[in-house]
Structure 1
Amino acid sequence: MERTPLEDIAQFLRRLQWTALGVGACWLLWVLAPVLTPFVVAAMLGWLGDPLVDRLERTGRSRNTSVILVFTSMALLVLLILVLLVPLIERQISTLIVSLPRYRDWFTGIAIPWLEQRTRLEISDWLDLNHLIELVRSNWERAGGVATTLLGYLSRSGFAVMAMIANIALLPVLTFFFLRDWDVLVERVASLIPRDHLATASRLAKASSDVLGAFLRGQFLVMVTLGVMYGIGLWGVGLDLGILIGIIAGLLTFVPYLGPASGIVLGVIAALVQYGDWKYVAGVLAVFGVGQVIESYWLTPKLVGDRIGLHPVAVIFAVLAGGTLFGFLGMLLALPIAAVANVLLRYAQERYTHSRLYAGDHPADLLDPATAPKADAATPAGDNGNGNGAAGAERETQ
């Protein structure tokens, strides 16, 4: 039955309304990004902590007691990271700034002449390391470190100070309420879904949560573990910048090969500049070799698994695109949106492969190999199973 022109116009208007609604939601998200940032961070923390709260509830504790235990643990973990990691990183960066003249001399006196001799390229003509290093040193010394830079930025804008203080004060409060009421929020959202689509929506939501949870929890633990291992290993080798290099390599681990490759390059350069001895270079290679073996055979299979489905290129694109469109809020929303989009694409592919458009007029022959006749490898061609081949078939027809 063909549709009337009025039905076509009505369908077009409905699609136009949904498009306008989507554009309006994106515009509203862009405008309210500074306000929504603490809510998104708190919601992600509540989502990450809800399984722990549910697990504590199953042991017989009340919801409020479980939330208080999980919230206190999260707050202590963040405080420990701030107390230990921030001063350590600033000392490492200060050490790097002091060591820049040695790196400059090594590059200009050893590395670049060695490359020019073998590539026959005049690298020193278009790479002015002295200017670059002095620019970095002057900017760092003028800033006086991370804390001075941050305080200087805040002092130039009273509104920025108030906004940052409000966000910091709101974050623990919002996180606590998201942890406490997460199950209630999920039930309310589920109650708005049409009953005919509830089973499909629940399956897609669970798959999205599993993908995102496996990536965030597992990859975060892998990054932290490898960062600590690399940092301690390089510090044990004797590198002054070993902890900083280990942290960088650990953070870049979510991109395959980029984390260890960058760590090896930086570690080898640091060893050559500091000692000029291949024995320390061998120590750097040993640290990353052991780390890669542990990651490949234990950390990634145990903590991450093979159910993620988020390609590293897709992760990088999602984070960069979200940051470009919506700033820091877009970077926070990039991974959840990428995980949901990945699940929806798999669902769309599943629907497509079971559709008549893909299978044609004989979907069973294409999609269900069990319905196709199976030939017995031990039976001669033309045999009907009674061992007489074509003759037996002829007798049966008679």
Structure 2
Amino acid sequence: MSALTPELEIARFLRQLKWIAVILAAGWVVWALAPILTPFVLAALLGWLGDPLVDRLERRGRSRNTAVVLVFILMLLLLVLLLLVLVPLLERQVRTLVSSLPAYRDWFVQVALPWIEQRTGLELMVWLDPERLFTWVREHWQQAGGAAATLFGYLSRSGFAMVAWVANIVLLPILTFYFLRDWDLLVERVASLVPRDHVDTVARLARESNDVLGAFLRGQFLVMIALGVIYAAGLSLVGLKLGMLIGLVAGLISFIPYLGTATGVVLGLLAAVVQAQGLDLGLLLMVAGVFVAGQMLEGYVLTPRIVGDRIGLHPMAVIFAIMAGGQLFGFLGMLLALPVAAVANVLLRFAHERYRQSDLYTGEQVRIVLDTTPSAPPVPPTEQERQ
């Protein structure tokens, strides 16, 4: 294999440097525009999920616009049905939570704080005295004023953020409709930009990424719904008053490995202690048993049958991807973390395959391996062969 000339080496390095600069610039743009990119990313995901059904309706003779309208109406009907089912349940659970707040307050003041004081030696009860609080504020009025200004600034920023969220919610169905209508056109335009020498490789990676993302997004969504139903029904059956609310919350955040279960266990045990006004061992064991059963169903039935093992993401990789995405790009990063990690896993498998075939792995010199296995002794010719 002939070595590259210094000029070619420099040219290749500059090309690589150019692509690195392009990637860094794209990352900076995403970071800067993260607040306004969120509805576009959500709409693109919904358009990607609905495009197969649109294509199926087109193959059955309907026009693209008609198929898009039918799928869009179906999405809206599913959303309305979900709201009609969940809103009354959540409303009753919220009313139960509000009516239970005095019991939680009494338990915190009369049980939790004295227990903490006995074991740590800290004086926490005195800070609940209003006169002491007013005295402390008068003594530290300057710091209190600065904290108040910071708090009002945060609330004003939160108000603007709330307005932005409302605008994003209004934009989401509009953007979803356009993504559904023009999805195939967008894919064709992106495919036309791929260098002709790499079309086959990019097409293969795109198919694998599409399979992985489809398996993950559709499967994980079904697993989240199933776990929410299992937890909510189980906690309600064992007699936990806030079981429906805690179960739904635990199911919805179960896309982060173990976080949904851990959150549900903590909230469920705390709710059981306050509800029983003490340690009701039977109720605590039943609450814990619901989450143990849910984890076993998820690990042995739901995830293997619905999601499958085509994703290949380790739980630590999932946790790292979500935390890194949230740290770098906020909510948009958390939204994109797992899809990006799944696609990156496909690219890493491809890079590993290319590495195993490269000269760096196999070596540039061809090795001659001698066959040292003993050969069988020659068979003497027969009488007919000698004649």
Matches within 5 A, 1:290-309: 290-309=293-312
Partner of 1:99: 103
**Normalized against structure 1, the TM-score is what?**
0.75
3-state DSSP of counterpart to 2:254: helix
Partner of 1:125: 121
Amino acid at match of 1:94: V
3-state DSSP of counterpart to 2:121: helix
Once the two structures are superposed, residues 190-225 of structure 1 have per-residue CA deviations (whole angstroms, 9 ceiling, x without a partner) of 122122211111111111122122112111211111
Partner of 2:74: 73
C-alpha change, 1:329 and 1:261, in structure 2 (3 Å) is closer
Alpha-carbon distance in 2 for matches of 1:247, 1:46: 26
Partner of 2:185: 184
Alpha-carbon distance in 1 for matches of 2:357, 2:10: 30
1:393 to 365, 377, 382: 377
Count of residues in correspondence between the two structures? 349
Amino acid at match of 1:353: R
Report if aligned partners of 1:271, 1:280 keep a CA contact under 8 Å in 2. Answer: yes
C-alpha change, 1:261 and 1:319, in structure 2 (3 Å) is closer
3-state DSSP of counterpart to 2:268: helix
Amino acid at match of 1:321: A
Amino acid at match of 2:206: A
Alpha-carbon distance in 2 for matches of 1:344, 1:155: 39
3-state DSSP of counterpart to 1:254: coil
Amino acid at match of 1:182: W
Report if aligned partners of 1:232, 1:242 keep a CA contact under 8 Å in 2. Answer: yes
Alpha-carbon distance in 1 for matches of 2:98, 2:368: 68
C-alpha change, 1:21 and 1:357, in structure 2 (3 Å) is closer
Report if aligned partners of 1:211, 1:339 keep a CA contact under 8 Å in 2. Answer: yes
C-alpha change, 1:33 and 1:52, in structure 2 (3 Å) is same
Alpha-carbon distance in 2 for matches of 1:209, 1:298: 24
Once the two structures are superposed, residues 36-69 of structure 1 have per-residue CA deviations (whole angstroms, 9 ceiling, x without a partner) of 2221111111111112222333444332222222
| Runs of 5+ unmatched residues, structure 1 | 114-121, 135-151, 366-371, 376-381, 385-391
| CA-CA distance at 1:315 after TM superposition | 2.0
1:337 to 335, 340, 352: 340
C-alpha change, 1:359 and 1:11, in structure 2 (3 Å) is closer
Alpha-carbon distance in 2 for matches of 1:68, 1:129: 61
Once the two structures are superposed, residues 253-302 of structure 1 have per-residue CA deviations (whole angstroms, 9 ceiling, x without a partner) of 33444433443444334323322432323432443344334333432222
Partner of 1:315: 318
C-alpha change, 1:95 and 1:16, in structure 2 (3 Å) is farther
The alignment-based identity, stated in percent, is 55
Partner of 1:232: 233
Alpha-carbon distance in 1 for matches of 2:175, 2:253: 30
C-alpha change, 1:319 and 1:255, in structure 2 (3 Å) is closer
| CA-CA distance at 1:2 after TM superposition | 4.8
Amino acid at match of 1:186: V
Alpha-carbon distance in 1 for matches of 2:126, 2:215: 45
C-alpha change, 1:278 and 1:73, in structure 2 (3 Å) is same
3-state DSSP of counterpart to 1:253: coil
Partner of 1:31: 32
C-alpha change, 1:202 and 1:24, in structure 2 (3 Å) is same
Q: What is the root-mean-square deviation of aligned Cα atoms in Å?
A: 3.6
| Runs of 5+ unmatched residues, structure 2 | 131-154, 383-387
**Normalized against structure 2, the TM-score is what?**
0.76
C-alpha change, 1:254 and 1:195, in structure 2 (3 Å) is same
Alpha-carbon distance in 1 for matches of 2:338, 2:263: 24
Amino acid at match of 2:120: S
Amino acid at match of 2:177: F
Once the two structures are superposed, residues 133-163 of structure 1 have per-residue CA deviations (whole angstroms, 9 ceiling, x without a partner) of x9xxxxxxxxxxxxxxxxx758954xx5664
Partner of 1:368: none
User: Does 1 or 2 have the higher relative contact order (CA < 8 Å, sep 6+)?
Assistant: 2
